[in-house]
Amino acid sequence: MRKFSIDKENKGLEPSEEQIRRYKDFSRLHHDYERLTKRGKKPVYQDPKLYMLIVLIGIILLIILLEE
């Protein structure tokens, strides 16, 4: 929750140029963006369902080949 109060000491709320410079970094932004949007996919062997599906397809293909 946000509440207002009056700045009686007149501190002012403008950030300094130094403060702005500290956070302005496009390469970091680009890196964070890549990290968030292009996360590496799980390898097949770490995904049990996909792994089982591939094994199952392999077995079916093997059975078909042997039948022929």
Residues that bind another protein (CB under 8 A): 1-8, 10-15, 19-20, 22-24, 26, 28-30, 32-33, 36-37
Rg (CA), the chain: 29
Q: Tell me how far apart the alpha carbons of residues 61 and 53 are, in angstroms, rounded to a whole number.
A: 12
Q: Tell me how far apart the alpha carbons of residues 1 and 56 are, in angstroms, rounded to a whole number.
A: 54
Cβ-based nearer residue to another protein, 32 or 47: 32
> Least distance (Å) from another protein to the CB of residue 40?
18
Cβ-based nearer residue to another protein, 27 or 46: 27
> Least distance (Å) from another protein to the CB of residue 15?
5
Pair of tokens at residue 13: 């709320």
